[in-house]
Amino acid sequence: MLIGELDRRVTIEQPVVELNDYGETQIDSWITTREVWSKVEWKNGTEGEDADKITATTFVTFYIRNLDLDNFLNGNTAATMEHRIAFAPQSVTKYYYFETLEQIEGRESFLKITTKEKN
């Protein structure tokens, strides 16, 4: 992969969690952790029924420069599957939730982030 293929701007976000009345953690909001250039590949999608609702799921792979998995986002936060990517390909922001993180290509030059968007 070439650096020039990273031609889409994406935002990596992490959840802000709080405790509810029962002591359980829940996501209160999302904060921007980092904006990066990315190559975007739409893989496939599915449609199905979930709890009596028809849902569509889209799988998208994002390739970004390796930010070092130990200091993936802002120098002190390791990547987790709770992070998401905000991407607005046609002026409408969509959110893609992490499925897998993978280091690729010699000397760990890039990260491959497989995500899922569920409508």
Confidence of residue 10 (pLDDT cuts 50, 70, 90): very high
Q: Looking at the 3D structure of the chain, how many domains does it have?
A: 1
| Out of 26-40, 47-61, 82-96, least confident range | 47-61
CATH number at residue 16: 2.40.10.270
Residue in the block written with tokens 């921007």:
32
Range of the domain at 65: 3-118
Global confidence as pTM = 0.78
What pLDDT does residue 72 have? 56
Burial of 20 (C-beta count, 10 Å sphere; 0-12/13-18/19+): exposed
Interatomic CA distance for residues 61 and 40, integer angstroms = 6
Number of H helices, E strands in the chain: 0, 6
pLDDT in tens, 76-90: 555 677 889 999 888
